[in-house]
Structure 1
Amino acid sequence: MPILEENYDVVVVGAGHAGCEAALACARLGLETIMFTVSVDSIALMPCNPNIGGSSKGHLVRELDALGGEMGKNIDKTFIQSKMLNESKGPAVHSLRAQADKQDYSREMRRTLENTDHLTVRQAEVSEIITDGKKLKGVKTFSGAVYHCKAAVLATGTYLNARCIYGDVSNETGPNGLQAANHLTASLKAHGVEMFRFKTGTPARVDKRSIDFSKMEEQFGDKKVVPFSFSTDPAAVQKEQVSCWLTYTNTNTHQIIRDNLDRSPLFSGAIEGTGPRYCPSIEDKVVKFPDKERHQVFVEPEGLYTNEMYLGGMSSSLPEDVQYAMYRTVSGLENVKIVRNAYAIEYDCINSRQLNATLEFKEIEGLFSGGQFNGSSGYEEAAVQGFMAGVNAAMKIKGKEPVVLDRSQAYIGVLIDDLVTKENHEPYRMMTSRAEYRLLLRQDNADLRLRKIGYDIGLISQEEYDRILWKEKAIESEVERLEKTSVGANERVQEFLSSHNSTLLKSGSTLAELVKRPELNYFMLTEIDDNRPQLPEDVAEQVDINIKYEGYIKRQMQQVSQFKKLESKRLDADFDYSTVPSLRREAVQKLNLYKPMNIGQASRISGVSPADISVLLVYLEQLRHKKK
């Protein structure tokens, strides 16, 4: 019986946030790309929280945008509320978050995909990978069709052997009741891929008409919206926004949960998968924090098209009757009506140590992967992995050097390095605390850090590249002017200082020295700086930060310099660490298992101590001298 056979450069399996970015990157680089999804209606689906960004996640989205990704542009078109988080703290932890209109977000991304040259969208379930030895040759769908390709990106999200659970109810479906993908896991295992079983969950969606908002705290968006994308005109995102709301659980809520823990699949053993530590269910919170009398509940709209509201902070897999009982103890939710039950979802994913830093499988050439399939959690973490996997698949096909960002360059580098060097036995979530050089890796300077790399990849236009070159020069020039411009202790300057509760001058001072004062900033100095050039706000922001945090930035740059020395000491992928005398057995096992790219990466592998690294460095130096 004849079967359908087609040829593509790249196959992308999955159309979630990872799959969309992978497919767009490959297609925009001129490769014939096909993206498979179990449902074209689930493209860029947001099955859990209705927002993009947030603490550390906002950094990822801006970095993705700087490199040429789509998520930032898409949320700028479809947000309904936007807020810069942590503004009372330093710029390193400022993070943008925007509430999305879920349906609009998905629809807009689908429109982009379907109108991208070299990209085909196909509804079908991929059931097998096809290899020749250890090299990928293509994929096969459940219908038997074969799609030959030079590389593939697996971005299956939470769909592999997915099971949705609440109470005693267990449905063999993907998120939101969509079809699960039940066949690919067997093929991957047959090819030697090690699989994990992870779990995540989501809260109930409730009817807006059944909520008493008068008992809740209204949460407004920013008066002045900052766009996610560096390409978005700031004027285009200044629009009327909708409100979110804040309420709290209480001791009654917690008692109902405790009384029904025996009915929770989380505690009865019905759920096998490991859940995310940093995004726990409400029953997890109540058990792990017994002294806490209340937990925050964020009530967020799912979109302008619907009355569904998302109950952030109350993820659960408790039975339906318990969900009603506990939700109705919360202030403002006394008469709430559930539209969609909360549930937990189990799914298959891989042990990410099987990947190189390029997100290519070490043992299957040409097969890449990204997103929750790699054992991470979150739309943003998924998107950046999908993008990097797609870019590296394209680079491999084009015969170019792979693109690997290190920990000093981007949060993306931190995320991927953590996935491929650490033992991840639970869904990985990005946090600012994971980034050692977070003062340098701010969300406000992502374009300055990564735009040129995006240009070299081929996903940033000449116009955008020229703009970043101009921006760099403008910042440097203005910082230099401020450092060279002195002001005296004249009446005008003293009045300015006095009006801002700043110490008066006894002698002259440079404008840069005034900017460094904690109570002053670059923007305030317009009152006494007559020669100040007219600069765009993003340039002025960088001038202010570069001067105010100069000492801290220089110190972190020195730390990066030391880090780079270790990263520059390359390691052979075929090196046998059992040949190194005095290296501990655990270190030998871990190093042979992970096959690190360099000494820096080796030092971050769990089970490899600083003493092991010293032994390895001495041995490599001895080898170098012998070769001479």
Structure 2
Amino acid sequence: MFDKVYDVIVVGGGHAGSEAAAAAANMGSNTLLVTMNLQNIAQMSCNPAMGGIAKGQIVREIDALGGYSGIVSDTSAIQFKMLNKSKGPAMWSPRVQSDRMRFAEDWRMLLEQTQNLDFYQDMVVGLLIKGEQIVGVKTSLGLEIKSRSVVLTNGTFLNGLIHIGDKNFGGGRAGERAAIGITEQLIDLGFDSGRMKTGTPPRVDGRSLDFSKMIEQPGDVTPQKFSYLETTKPLENQRSCHMTHTSAEVHNLLKEGFDRSPMFNGRIQSIGPRYCPSIEDKINRFSEKERHQIFVEPEGWNTVEYYINGFSTSLPEDVQYKALKAVKGFEHVRFFRPGYAIEYDYFPPTQLTYSLETKLIKGLFFAGQINGTTGYEEAASQGLMAGINASLSVQNKAPFILRRDEAYIGVLIDDLITKGTEEPYRMFTSRAEYRTLLRQDNADLRLTPKGYDLGIASLVRLQRMERKHNQSKDFVSFFRKQSVKPEEANPVLESKSSSPIKQSDKMFKIFSRPNITIDDVRKFQAVEDYISEHNLNDEVIEQTEIQIKYSGYIEKEKNNADKLTRLEYVKIPKEFDYTQVKSMSYEAREKLHAVQPATVAQASRISGVSPNDISVLLVFLGR
């Protein structure tokens, strides 16, 4: 049946698997996507949304490199919001509410239109290993499919166990069976594994809710898009979300079921996501709070199903129902299905290299929740990188690696393989020390040339990025050269309580004032004439404003990044013997031996390795 040897086999069709398969195939590798159910490709297992704080930046980066998540987010969007708009542009984070069914369908259609990509529905139960090299996979039907590399993106399916109150049963997602066999084989091969937990809230019938008792949460008045390509237009119509709150009564009703909660009676011992806790965890940890926010999110354009964000739970279904009925607007609620928790196997990511290839088995890559992360966006970005690097590995080319100053994806992967994680890892802007450089608006400028060189970003995408770059660069030069007279400038300045000028001054200097915006300087006739003459779009205008307003901060951060990234180029030989560096602390030698960092910069970020240890290492390396 499978008489050819594939370049890349991707196991799992979630967000990581979909991006991995698309990337490898678009780079020319003969690719096979094996998943347990082809109807559930890129399924939104949890909330029907993409993006958010730091996550939106990741989706933009995936899109800039040539991935599909941004495009599908746009084609399936029902609402768009730019979060943190009141803060500086380093914090602006795009988010879309998605049509869950359309999201999965659009992903499936895009993948089916991708050259070099085959599909097969079956469960992978084992890996084919020859020496220390992956040579294929084995399925539950007994098929052996040969390949030069394999990307595992198993999500929550590895020995998945679903909990609802005092009931539990095997499963990787509601209504789907767990995957067995792979964990046990990897442990036999010498891998360390662990268990993690995540959860999801009830889904309810929107016809049973009273939205008049809730606070409406509409989308942006002028919505933008995720993808830098012009595949779709910004939304003209949007669906609103709504917000309500729990109460002391709701908390008391939930507490009645704590003795039947798998979280509190010991049946769940694995660690859940710190920043997305269950409702029972929230009222237990934050007992001083009288109420918590509940966001009521539509699942699509036409469905009546709603997702109850903020009410993730594994309590018994009768307790969930009773407590939710006490929430304002939910008095007559009807459930589609209760919330549940799920435990699953993961493999500490310190067992990987920067390419996401395992250190023990050549050609075997891990991406997504198998690495201990949580979130569609984190998974998709790892899938993209693993797919790229699996393809490069079979071409005997150097791996593609992003540094911390180049992308949030670089921060994510460096954090995982250097520090590891003992709880589900989620990306935040605070994790990135160069977030002024890593903005959502400039992901294309940072990454599209790299994606084009790899063969996954199209020439159209590159040309669009170059046009944006050149137009914004020329517009900045215009502001540097163009002067404005006091009689034209002062009315604008005085309206913003900004000091008037006494003689003509450069527009750049005026525009650089903290309280002066692009809307203010557009009142100068020369600016409006320039925009009209050069047919500048909002994207170019926004980019110009950021470059002018934050030029000092951007330059300073670039200089800091340049200084620190010099150590990224100081390589440490493979299998370096740290025991011979006697003047280094014992803890540092132990940690460095375990992680086997590729560069001195990576070594410096390992917990327990001091600046003095790095100095000793540099001397020992002859630097």
State TM-score, norm by structure 1: 0.96
Deviation, structure 1 residue 264: 0.9
Deviation, structure 1 residue 9: 1.1
Deviation, structure 1 residue 4: 6.2
Deviation, structure 1 residue 287: 1.0
Match of 2:249 among 252, 274, 277: 252
- What are the superposed Cα offsets for residues 290-315 of structure 1, whole Å, 9 maximum, x if unpaired? 11111110000111242111110110
Paired residue type of 1:606: S
Contact 1:244–1:300 (8 Å) recurs in 2: yes
Deviation, structure 1 residue 6: 4.4
Deviation, structure 1 residue 383: 0.3
In 2: Cα distance, 1:69 partner to 1:233 partner: 13
Match of 1:121 among 112, 119, 122: 119
Is residue 329 of structure 1 aligned with residue 330 of structure 2? no
Deviation, structure 1 residue 327: 0.8
Show the counterpart of 1:498. 494
Paired residue type of 1:298: F
- What are the superposed Cα offsets for residues 122-145 of structure 1, whole Å, 9 maximum, x if unpaired? 100001111111111111111111
Show the counterpart of 2:436. 439
Residues 438 and 449 (structure 1), Cα distance of their counterparts in 2 relative to 1, 3 Å cut: same
In 2: Cα distance, 1:269 partner to 1:62 partner: 40
In 1: Cα distance, 2:8 partner to 2:177 partner: 24
Is residue 522 of structure 1 aligned with residue 518 of structure 2? yes
Paired residue type of 1:557: K
In 2: Cα distance, 1:565 partner to 1:177 partner: 50
Show the counterpart of 1:565. 566
Deviation, structure 1 residue 112: 1.3
2:222 is paired with a residue of what secondary structure?
coil
Deviation, structure 1 residue 516: 1.4
Query: Which segment is superposed worse, 253-262 or 310-319?
Result: 253-262
Deviation, structure 1 residue 190: 1.8
Show the counterpart of 1:590. 591
2:90 is paired with a residue of what secondary structure?
helix
Show the counterpart of 1:390. 387
Structure 2: segments with no counterpart, 5+ residues: none
- What are the superposed Cα offsets for residues 357-398 of structure 1, whole Å, 9 maximum, x if unpaired? 100001100001101111100000000000000000111111
Deviation, structure 1 residue 570: 1.1
Is residue 69 of structure 1 aligned with residue 67 of structure 2? yes
Contact 2:153–2:369 (8 Å) recurs in 1: yes
Paired residue type of 2:483: S
Is residue 548 of structure 1 aligned with residue 549 of structure 2? yes
Is residue 304 of structure 1 aligned with residue 301 of structure 2? yes
Deviation, structure 1 residue 118: 1.1
Is residue 348 of structure 1 aligned with residue 349 of structure 2? no
What pairs up with 1:112-151 in 2 under 5 angstroms?
112-151=110-149
Contact 1:4–1:144 (8 Å) recurs in 2: no
In 2: Cα distance, 1:463 partner to 1:337 partner: 48
In 2: Cα distance, 1:113 partner to 1:474 partner: 34
RMSD: 1.4
In 1: Cα distance, 2:224 partner to 2:2 partner: 48
In 2: Cα distance, 1:203 partner to 1:30 partner: 40
Is residue 607 of structure 1 aligned with residue 608 of structure 2? yes
Deviation, structure 1 residue 423: 3.2
Deviation, structure 1 residue 232: 2.6
Contact 2:78–2:235 (8 Å) recurs in 1: no
What pairs up with 1:255-274 in 2 under 5 angstroms?
255-274=252-271
Deviation, structure 1 residue 401: 1.7
Show the counterpart of 2:459. 462
Deviation, structure 1 residue 332: 0.6
Match of 1:473 among 470, 475, 481: 470
Residues 6 and 183 (structure 1), Cα distance of their counterparts in 2 relative to 1, 3 Å cut: farther
Give % identity: 46
Show the counterpart of 1:228. 226
Paired residue type of 1:539: V
Query: Which segment is superposed worse, 12-21 or 474-483?
Result: 474-483
Show the counterpart of 2:50. 52
Contact 1:73–1:232 (8 Å) recurs in 2: no
Query: Which segment is superposed worse, 469-478 or 66-75?
Result: 469-478
Show the counterpart of 1:318. 315
1:527 is paired with a residue of what secondary structure?
coil
In 1: Cα distance, 2:621 partner to 2:615 partner: 10
Deviation, structure 1 residue 437: 0.5
2:226 is paired with a residue of what secondary structure?
coil
Paired residue type of 1:525: V
What pairs up with 1:13-24 in 2 under 5 angstroms?
13-24=11-22
Show the counterpart of 1:100. 98
In 1: Cα distance, 2:559 partner to 2:88 partner: 20
In 1: Cα distance, 2:565 partner to 2:444 partner: 21
- What are the superposed Cα offsets for residues 61-87 of structure 1, whole Å, 9 maximum, x if unpaired? 000000000000011111111111111
Query: Which segment is superposed worse, 281-290 or 608-617?
Result: 608-617
Query: Which segment is superposed worse, 515-524 or 301-310?
Result: 515-524
1:131 is paired with a residue of what secondary structure?
strand
In 2: Cα distance, 1:459 partner to 1:473 partner: 23
Structure 1: segments with no counterpart, 5+ residues: none
Paired residue type of 2:93: S
